[in-house]
Amino acid sequence: MTGQRLTPEALEAWLAEYGRAWQARDANRAAALFTESARYYETPFDAPKAGRDGIRDYWTTVTADQRDVGFQSEIVAVNAQNGLARWSASLTSAASGARVELDGMFFLTFADGLCSELREWWHVRSTP
């Protein structure tokens, strides 16, 4: 959001679309939420997924085994071009049948209405 402040409403809409993309396991829909040169940090220690193509490739791979995805989010803070949100997800692994629960945080930076940087921290729990 160059020149514009990020609003809670805009962040809520972005998070809802992110959730819909995940539930549909739609890598193209997810990639469209990001700027062309976005950086997506899945963990603080790995190199980021770079640009829409890198994000699309990551999403294609990571969601391939996921079924019955549920996603929820809650805004923690919004400041200028940045947003902080808590999120949770549940899904089933197609390969093992295990139910997986995730709980995490997003730190998001926006430019021109799209996410230019995503940093996430999460924990996972699986049950047979």
**pLDDT tens digits, 31-56:** 999 999 999 999 999 999 999 999 99
Give Cα 121 to chain centroid, integer Å.
Answer: 11
Give Cα 18 to chain centroid, integer Å.
Answer: 6
Q: Is residue 94 part of a domain?
A: yes
Percent of the chain's residues with pLDDT above 90? 95
**Which CATH number do you get for residue 32?**
3.10.450.50
Q: Which pLDDT band, with edges at 50, 70 and 90, does 3 fall under?
A: low
Q: pLDDT value at position 128?
A: 80
Please determine, for residue 112, whether its predicted confidence score (pLDDT) is greater than 50.
yes
The answer to whether 101 and 90 have CB atoms below 8 angstroms apart is: yes
The terminus-to-terminus CA distance of the chain in angstroms comes to: 43
Q: Is residue 23 part of a domain?
A: yes
Q: Is residue 24 part of a domain?
A: yes
Range of the structural domain that residue 80 is part of = 8-127
Q: pLDDT value at position 4?
A: 84
Q: How many domains does the chain have?
A: 1
